[in-house]
Amino acid sequence: MTKETNLAIYGGKPLRSRPWPQWPVVGKETERVLIEVLNSGRWAVSGPYTGQPSFERKFAESFATYCGVPYCLPVCNGTAGLDVALRALGVGYGQEVLVPGLTWVACASAVIRAGAVPLLVDIDTDTLCMSLQAARQTAERAHRLGAILLVHAFGAGADIDGFLKLSQDTGIPLIEDCSQAHGTLIRGRQVGSYGHIGVFSMQQTKVLTCGEGGAVITSDDKLYDNLQQLRSDGRRYIESPRVGDLEIEEVGTVQGYNYSLSEFGAAILYERLPHLYEQTQVREKNAKYLDSLLQERGLAIPQQRGKDVDCRTYYAYCARPCPKAFKGLPASIAAKAIAAELGLKVGPIYKPINETLLYQPLKSQNLPNDSDWRKRLDPCQYDLPNARAAYASYVSLPHSALLGNKHDMEDIVSAFEKLRSELKTVLAREGGSHT
């Protein structure tokens, strides 16, 4: 007979019924700027210049200042940002790019779209960022390395000094994917400003969002010129456009594409950017409190921040339930149980890229009819034990939960404690011990 249980996942009363902070955050000012765009008649970079600075230009300038770089180029999404970054650096057919084996699939698929081969690199299980040691070993075996794509996983901050050294040693450019790290500082400097190019996503779940959007930053004049043309069909900004004309001119020194951000998205980003600092501070304060409670009670081990990170944002709060406390209970089961108690979206982290259904490089259109090339793309060739172990052991909570208060953090801890108190029942229902 199955033991009765109070766990919500099995029909018991949830620990919490109160709502969590809403995301995205929308205010009256957001509505105002959207109406302003609507009435302006200028809805995109390819629309007529009205005599007033576009929201795209205003956001680009503001975000560049925020990141401490001279140049920012808005794009329609983070994947487009990766695409133009790779192309601006000359990455193409026959080349390879170091990509972390545990991240969102777009990091690898963007490399394939550029005609190059993603080399999947294992991670550090504490920071969840690309392992420097594994990256060096992979770089040594590479045939024609074209770039290093470093992801600041969940906002933790990667080993930037180590990867800058690897970039210098190999002569290969470094791209920082900061899609999960808006606001993370390493030695007081924004991530994305260290590498040759920094890429950000502003998709709905990101800590700065307009639904779908992105940005690319750089300090290099030539790269910026190329980036402009690559995202606007070979066109770039005119410094002094005339009213009624386009504020972009045809240049065509590189083959471009249309990856432009709409004025509606740019307006939202421009309005919400001033709120990012305060929200980052709230998340970090709550995360530190949650860290201390979980560790003191032997419940979970939080994801570690990277070296020299003095402020971090949280795209997600990631932690490993302590093996001793939870007898090796898989993260997928722990996440479902905690989610049911809190009424919150809780889940495991990403699967390793070579194991996710979303990464099917051999099904890509327009692959060259080259058996060696296809072999190099085959994800089955990779063994990523650290990424696999991380997927099996970490649970993640959405960053919106960290916009709450101390009582909200204590509810999260209580959900872990309730699961631990009912562990025998869970193990019995889920097929016994997973040690």
pLDDT digits (tens, 9 = 90+) for 278-333: 999 999 999 999 999 999 999 999 999 999 999 999 999 999 999 999 998 999 99
What's at 408, amino acid-wise? D
pLDDT of residue 435: 42
Is 329 part of a structural domain of the chain? Answer: no
Could you read off the pLDDT of 239-269 as tens digits, one per residue? 889 999 999 999 999 999 999 999 999 999 9
**Distance (Å, rounded) from C-alpha 415 to C-alpha 407?**
12
**Inside any domain, residue 194:** yes
Number of domains the chain contains: 1
- Residue 433: is its pLDDT beyond 50? no
Q: Evaluate whether residue 264 is within a structural domain.
A: yes
* Residue 105 lies inside a defined structural domain of this protein: yes
Residue 243 CB-density burial (10 A; 0-12 exposed, 13-18 middle, 19+ buried): exposed
Whether residue 162 lies inside any domain: the answer is yes
2 has pLDDT over 70: no
59 contact partners, CB below 8 Å, separation of at least 6: 72, 74, 266, 267, 269, 270, 273
The answer to the question of residue 280 being in a domain is no
| pLDDT at position 367 | 77
Q: Per-residue confidence at 150, pLDDT binned at 50, 70, 90?
A: very high
Parent domain of 52? 28-274
- As beta bridge partners, residue 145 has 96
Residue 142 falls inside a structural domain: yes
On whether residue 296 sits in a domain, the answer given is no
Q: Whole-prediction pTM value?
A: 0.95
CATH number of the domain at 167, please.
Answer: 3.40.640.10
